[in-house]
Structure 1
Amino acid sequence: MKRVAALLLLASLSANAFAFAPFVVSDIRIDGLSRIAAGTVYNYLPVDKGDRMTNAQAQRAIRALYDTKFFTDVEFSREGDILVIKVVERPSISKLTLRGNKDIKSDDLKKGLKEIGLAEGETFDRLALDRVRQELIHQYYNRGKYNVSVLPHVTKLDRNRVAVEIEIREGKVSKIKEINILGNHAFTDKEIRDDFESGTTNWTSWYSKNDQYSREKLSGDMEKLQSYYMNRGYADFGIDSTQVTIAPDKRTMYVAADVKEGEIYKVTAVKLLGDLILPESTLRHLVIVAPGDTFNRAAVEASTDGIKALLANLGYAFAKVTSIPKLDKEKRTVDLTLYVEPGERVYVRRVVFQGNTRTEDSVLRREMRQLEGTFYSQAAVDRSKIRLQRLGYFKKVDIDKKLVPGTQDKVDVTVKVEEQSAGSMQFGVGYSQYSGMILSASVSQNNLFGSGDSFAISGERSSYYTRFNLNYYNPYLTDNGIGIGYNATYSKTDYGNTELANYETSTKAFSTYLGLPLGETDSLRLGLGISSNRIVTSFYSPPQFVAYQDQIGNRTEHAWTSTIGWNHDTRNGYWAPTRGGLLSASVDVALPGSTAKYWKFFAQANHYWPVGLGFVLYLDGQVGYGESYGKNGISDEQFEALKAASAKENPNHVLTDMRNDFPFWQNFYSGGVRDVRGFQDNTLGPRSCVGPSATQNANGTCTGGYYSYAQPIGGAFKVLGTAQVFIPLPFLKDINTARVSWFMDVGNAYKDYQSFDAKMLRASTGLSLQWQAPIGPLIISLAVPIRSQKEDHHYEERVQFTFGSQF
């Protein structure tokens, strides 16, 4: 067929270039152009004024114009000494439409089509359309869809244009009926195939899709098969053949692999050759294969990777370490040589950022640990990537290196980011029998105007409280990473209409704080704040609250507070980490001169572990503790006067000394959507009965009181533990978009540390969905209390959720 096509083209060229009597071209005229500029044609035409035109030159010129693929016909003629070129332009593609494709996104398809010249605005070439059809069919074959059909439709339009529509009928994925491994004797089929992605239909196939055939999956499984044997000593293992048979209906597949197991080999020697750069003893520490070991390809690869990583940290970015096993089939031994080729030591000429359309380059550059003008370090590049991911501004971060053209010792490092929303606009509407209608709104931006600064303002209103908060933080007040922040808060709360502790507060507070970096993973926070809190108790308030206020002697509490906090953060992501963790501890102190003198300690420790197959284990523990100091400024003489006044008013009542009690408005609470799920917010922990004749038994139940149950009042000590397993789901490909987990929460609040009793811990379990929905971050938890007391049933809440809207 190719020979026939060539003959036809030659005949066409000969016909269009009639026998010229040689002449000198005095001018050139081009007829038939409508869309293509004459200058474009002249650029491709190998003929100019003053040239001598011959038949051979005419044929070469026609061929050059055909090669541009701009024209369907080219004809040369002569008018005197004027060369006349008559052309017929190919039509342009006015519209390109894809229909029926579900497995491959239209944007991805159009990007690939554009690379081969099929795009809107381009010249239409039917041969390119045929190539597109074959390529699409090939791509669907790779996805196991063998009954796919691709039907291109071309519609002629006016002004020499066409509309191209590609109709794709994907069909259904072919399923694997059988997988047969032939020739295996040392291991069973089940042992070999345990880690395969491909499998036959079973009860989990609806979830895992393992029975859907894919060429890529099968290729990966064959590699796993080879690794399975070679990691267990079978150094001469081989796969003789892999056969895939498809049924006539193109819906069922049969897979067979013939293997040759070979024998188990022992390592007799491990040599290091080549340009080692470092002392051999240093590199030997990275080699985890030793003489006498059973051959293990994974251990060999880990050794070569370790050496390459070390050399890459020293600037040898393109180091190669080749493992050369020499087999002695009679003795069944392996003489292993690791050959080191470090290449040139390179330094970074330039660090370039791409994809940050909103974020300033300086925000990314200050997180980079690989600097320009220094030797390349893979460790510094890896650390830079983690720091950029943890900012929370980017959905994806990739860092590539490339040699500078014409050099062997310079590289450019390109940081490609895909930005995501770093701000949110959250609105909430809810209803509770305790608080009535709840309205909330907040606007936050963690990357204000692309500067890396964060800003947030929020407000919340219900039947019993009003809260406003304003926060600003600049993480780089100085070039070395010292940050400064400001926070202003106003809140007004009246718990009188709820079943929580009954009292009123009106608080105004302002604070400023510094963030001090202590290293790559550690930071220190120092803060100073001032607050004014008017606290009003009543007859229906918990009696211990009333007594405390009477002893303090003030309805308005003023406080100067200082804060010191420490963070150790090794997480590898912001929204959805999969490894690493967070350790934090903070102490808040109400300084001398404050109405109530106290200190609060809070600590948290959590960690993420990938446990295989996409599952991630997350453990979290929290503890909070508070105490008063200095008897809250009330001397013994003052207390004795209060005690005497109380006895005079009520001779049968002995005033309890509460000067060392922790301020009740600083109490820790437990329960809620971000605490022990399955219980309403702040409802666990100590409770107090209120009423003229109310009594409270050992388990906290009230009798004879004004209320039928106790008021939650919190406490000075709190513990919380969470175990969570994030579950991979096949329809949730991107964990940065959505995650599902099974969780178990355990915790409670106590009056003080001495009151801690493990028997009083509450627990719940359930499922949680975290989703970056179009409306914003959405968290839904379905929780079931598995350890509770009778009096808790009033506060149980099975479904809890929060949502917002991002920008």
Structure 2
Amino acid sequence: MLSIFPSSLNRPAAIAVAAIATLAAPAAFAVEPFALADIRVEGLQRTDPGTVFAALPFRVGDTYTDDKGAAALRALFATGLFKDVRIEIDGKVAIVVVEERPVIQSVNFAGLKEFDKDTLIKSLKDAGIGEGLPFDRALVERAEQEIKRQYLSRSLYGAEVVTTISPAERNRVNVTFTMTEGDAAKIKDIRIVGTKAFSESTLTGLMDLTVGGWLTWYTKNDRYSRAKLNADLETIRSYYLNRGYLEFEIESAQVTISPDKQDISITITVKEGQPYTVTSVKLQGEYLGKDDEFKELVSIKPGEPYRAAAVAETTKAMAERFGVYGYAFARIDARPEIDRATGQVGLTLAADPQRRVYVRRIDVAGNTRTRDEVVRREFRQLESSWYDGGKIKLSRDRVERLGYFKEVNVDTNEVASAPDQVDLAVNVVERPTGNLLFGVSFSSADRLALNASIRQDNVFGSGNYLGFEVNTSKSQRSLVFSTVDPYFTVDGISRSLDVFYRTTRPFNSLGDEYQISNPGATVRFGVPFTEFDTVFFGIGLEQTNIGTTAGIPNSYFDYRFRYGPRSTSVPLTLGWARDSRDSVVTPTAGKFQRVNLEWSVAGDVRYLRSNLQWQQYIPFWNNKMSLGLNAELGYGKGLGGRPFPVFKNFYGGGLGSVRVFEQNSLGVIDPTGAYVGGASKLNVNAELYFPVPGTGNDKSLRIFAFADAGNVWREGERLDAGSLRASAGVGLSWISPVGPLKLSYGTPVRSKPTDRIQRFQFQIGTAF
């Protein structure tokens, strides 16, 4: 029996030795070519024999040679499944003897505090270290180095990683990584050398990295990070370039660490140069005969300091304008002509539109739940049409406004075989669209009041809305089923259907129980007239039953006495809405306007009820902060000789109205002490949003300051500014992975002694 076998080495060495051993073996061990009568495999425990046979370069009946034997050894070692392999020849039978590598039974961590265990397990598995995978010492050593690198990125320079391999039964091993993390190194000192125009404190104040402070335990900005330092250097560079220092340079950025690896010092050396003033801005190149149109896009003017941000803004705007005309790859070069003697610079904007292209295909990726058609029907850029940058931006904004995705990106890719064609890649990241929402409030009257709703904004990925709302407060209870099909027709006409049953028990000082029930249903259609404007119309059927139990508020008792305990109405609705907000979930820019009219044309009750709302979001401070303004006006009037029905009154106070005042407590107070709302209302709200320190531009977690004002008035009563209630306070808004959370705490600014105050209010939600 002859054998060809290498030593038990790591995989690359074993493959090499297998080849050398076979090729350079003495003539005494050479095998004369022969026809294989059989092939046997020995030593397998877990591996399927088919895996071995598939790697062999010969089959039964083939001629076996030394070259084929060496190739077989290389192929088997390349699978990574075997620690040792040899081929023995017994007559005309080839016996493949293998020794399998151990399989990793478990991966464990000891002393791990800085990282999430599940995240680390996933990253190691991607690198080949995980449960059920073959054990490879070389991969484990690389994993140690990668873990150490991760610790270094978090300023844990003294971290050590020791790997322990524990044998287990059935040729398995347990891998344990033991971490000694130590303390994170903190930034002790940041120096900027060479500054003359601006103070060192001004420049260090621009940086995210900082020395220890009262909030750095949370932000961790006193931990050194190379990525953060590079970002800070770019911030400093931008600061100078936007103030005329065209030739500003950062000569060096030195980072030193103390011998005990606990303190870090950063020294940045800069060369400011001199400031420059723009003397002229010229257009050069091909501007499609629309020079005047492109000149309007120039945001830097002669006589101003040279500002790199303004130049970048101008070239971007010009590139986008070329895109509107189908030139997706237009190039605009800003060429400054510097005169160092006078400190002046002339700017030339050279344009090369290159070629006009059309869109061959639009691909949608990342929508693991939402159907492709839900995204595609929002696109105004069509396949096989000329590329239009304006339509592409509008399409991206429309997909963003759906509220189904955390991120929406549209990339333009050239088609290699066709220079006049491009493909659009729409990449989205899904967000949870189902919510189980709870609203909780406390008061001496209602005690614990709960508002709950279960809804799915994107049911089964179809883009349809399905909701079920329950309100269990003492004063108002409701059961509402709602569904909305935003594309009831292919032209984008929407249909919404609401079926509801509401009961009302306005608070009164008598404490007696009574009930006002309101069952009904409405259907409404929305017709899009422009990209931002939609007109709504619909019809409903409602019934109102005023109970006879003692303690009913006087206003309800009077209405019941005059017109009976049961009233029916058939309201027609007509509305208009314009929405140009950049996001439905976390808007920071744009407007939302809405007008809704409700006119009861049949039944026992005749009335006209109108509601107007206006919202404006204004970003500033490099889009890190935003100001949200909201105004809402409601007005109702009775028709046919009857007063405005009391059960159609507007309410004010609480979340969504004037915070700090108890929910629905503003307006007319019945002699019984009940809050019965009024025929007209006014709300004015302002919210100033800014990011939580250390979260960067993350808009899912924001702090806000608010100021609210408003009230409710009875029919015929003049809206009096002197009777407005007002409040102010602060809050926290978080679009968390498991649902929305909003908290507010405030104080009344204008109030009456009889007002019911509720300083703390919040909403919580859980996604599914």
Same fold (TM over 0.5): yes
Which residue of 248, 265, 277 corresponds with 1:237?
Answer: 248
The answer to whether the 8 Å contact 1:149/1:169 transfers is yes
Q: Partners in 2 of 1:606 and 1:71 — Cα distance?
A: 67
User: Per the alignment, in what secondary structure is the counterpart of residue 166 of structure 2?
Assistant: strand
Per-residue CA deviation, residues 164-210 of structure 1 (Å, 9 max, x unaligned), is 33344444432211111111112211232332111222344345433
Deviation at residue 333 of structure 1 after TM alignment: 4.7
Q: Partners in 2 of 1:181 and 1:436 — Cα distance?
A: 59
User: Per the alignment, in what secondary structure is the counterpart of residue 133 of structure 1?
Assistant: helix
Cα RMSD of the aligned pairs, angstroms, is 3.8
Does 2:571 correspond to 1:561?
yes
The answer to whether the 8 Å contact 2:506/2:676 transfers is no
User: Per the alignment, in what secondary structure is the counterpart of residue 530 of structure 2?
Assistant: coil
Q: Partners in 1 of 2:74 and 2:595 — Cα distance?
A: 77
Letter in 2 for 1:365: R
Matches within 5 A, 1:462-473: 466-473=477-484
The answer to whether the 8 Å contact 2:437/2:454 transfers is yes
The equivalent residue for 1:590 is 600
Q: Partners in 2 of 1:118 and 1:53 — Cα distance?
A: 37
Letter in 2 for 1:177: K
Which moved further from structure 2: 37-46 or 344-353? 37-46
The equivalent residue for 1:482 is 493
Deviation at residue 245 of structure 1 after TM alignment: 0.5
Does 2:340 correspond to 1:379?
no
Which residue of 796, 801, 805 corresponds with 2:757?
Answer: 796
Q: Partners in 2 of 1:8 and 1:542 — Cα distance?
A: 92
Deviation at residue 138 of structure 1 after TM alignment: 2.3
User: Per the alignment, in what secondary structure is the counterpart of residue 373 of structure 2?
Assistant: helix
Letter in 2 for 1:676: V
The equivalent residue for 1:647 is none
User: Per the alignment, in what secondary structure is the counterpart of residue 233 of structure 1?
Assistant: coil
Q: How many pairs were matched up?
A: 751
User: Per the alignment, in what secondary structure is the counterpart of residue 631 of structure 1?
Assistant: coil
Q: Partners in 1 of 2:477 and 2:104 — Cα distance?
A: 61
Does 2:684 correspond to 1:721?
yes
The equivalent residue for 2:724 is 761
Which residue of 579, 583, 599 corresponds with 2:608?
Answer: 599
The equivalent residue for 2:590 is 580
User: Per the alignment, in what secondary structure is the counterpart of residue 300 of structure 1?
Assistant: helix
User: Per the alignment, in what secondary structure is the counterpart of residue 370 of structure 1?
Assistant: coil
Does 2:689 correspond to 1:749?
no
Q: Partners in 2 of 1:144 and 1:516 — Cα distance?
A: 57
User: Per the alignment, in what secondary structure is the counterpart of residue 148 of structure 2?
Assistant: helix
The equivalent residue for 2:25 is 18
The answer to whether the 8 Å contact 1:176/1:201 transfers is yes
Per-residue CA deviation, residues 269-325 of structure 1 (Å, 9 max, x unaligned), is 656556655644444433334565533222222222122222334444444434444
The equivalent residue for 2:358 is 347
Letter in 2 for 1:373: S
The equivalent residue for 1:414 is 425
The equivalent residue for 1:124 is 135
Which residue of 199, 205, 208 corresponds with 1:194?
Answer: 205
Q: Partners in 2 of 1:201 and 1:434 — Cα distance?
A: 48
The answer to whether the 8 Å contact 1:145/1:173 transfers is yes
The answer to whether the 8 Å contact 1:495/1:501 transfers is no
The answer to whether the 8 Å contact 1:435/1:462 transfers is yes
Which moved further from structure 2: 565-574 or 425-434? 425-434
Does 2:650 correspond to 1:668?
yes
Check 1:616–1:549 CA distance in 2 against 1; reply closer, same or farther (3 A cut). Answer: same
User: Per the alignment, in what secondary structure is the counterpart of residue 321 of structure 2?
Assistant: helix
Per-residue CA deviation, residues 726-770 of structure 1 (Å, 9 max, x unaligned), is 342257689675544332221111235753332222122233344
What are structure 1's unaligned runs of at least 5 residues? Answer: 633-660, 691-709
Per-residue CA deviation, residues 110-153 of structure 1 (Å, 9 max, x unaligned), is 45434443344443332222222223322332332222223333
Check 1:342–1:131 CA distance in 2 against 1; reply closer, same or farther (3 A cut). Answer: farther
The answer to whether the 8 Å contact 2:15/2:78 transfers is no
The answer to whether the 8 Å contact 2:569/2:605 transfers is yes
Deviation at residue 423 of structure 1 after TM alignment: 2.7
Per-residue CA deviation, residues 21-52 of structure 1 (Å, 9 max, x unaligned), is 47435337665454555665566666788678
Letter in 1 for 2:249: G
Which residue of 189, 196, 199 corresponds with 1:178?
Answer: 189
Which moved further from structure 2: 242-251 or 282-291? 282-291
Which moved further from structure 2: 307-316 or 558-567? 307-316
User: Per the alignment, in what secondary structure is the counterpart of residue 223 of structure 1?
Assistant: helix
Per-residue CA deviation, residues 575-622 of structure 1 (Å, 9 max, x unaligned), is 32222232111111222x443432122111122233337333222111
The answer to whether the 8 Å contact 2:401/2:582 transfers is yes
The equivalent residue for 2:663 is 681
Which residue of 627, 630, 639 corresponds with 1:620?
Answer: 630
Q: Partners in 2 of 1:67 and 1:425 — Cα distance?
A: 52
Does 2:567 correspond to 1:571?
no
Matches within 5 A, 1:269-284: 270=281, 279-284=290-295
What are structure 2's unaligned runs of at least 5 residues? Answer: 1-10
The answer to whether the 8 Å contact 1:502/1:711 transfers is no
Q: TM-score, normalised by structure 1?
A: 0.82
Letter in 1 for 2:641: K
Which moved further from structure 2: 299-308 or 199-208? 199-208
The equivalent residue for 2:3 is none
The answer to whether the 8 Å contact 1:495/1:502 transfers is no
Letter in 2 for 1:665: F
Q: Partners in 2 of 1:12 and 1:617 — Cα distance?
A: 71
Letter in 2 for 1:19: P
The answer to whether the 8 Å contact 2:449/2:474 transfers is yes
Which moved further from structure 2: 408-417 or 77-86? 77-86
The equivalent residue for 2:8 is none
Q: Partners in 2 of 1:535 and 1:58 — Cα distance?
A: 95
Matches within 5 A, 1:272-671: 279-289=290-300, 293-325=304-336, 327-330=338-341, 332-334=343-345, 336-342=347-353, 344-404=355-415, 406-426=417-437, 433-435=444-446, 442-461=453-472, 466-495=477-506, 505-535=516-546, 552-591=562-601, 593-612=602-621, 614-632=624-642, 661-671=643-653
Deviation at residue 503 of structure 1 after TM alignment: 7.5
The equivalent residue for 1:694 is none
Check 1:331–1:777 CA distance in 2 against 1; reply closer, same or farther (3 A cut). Answer: closer
The answer to whether the 8 Å contact 2:683/2:711 transfers is yes
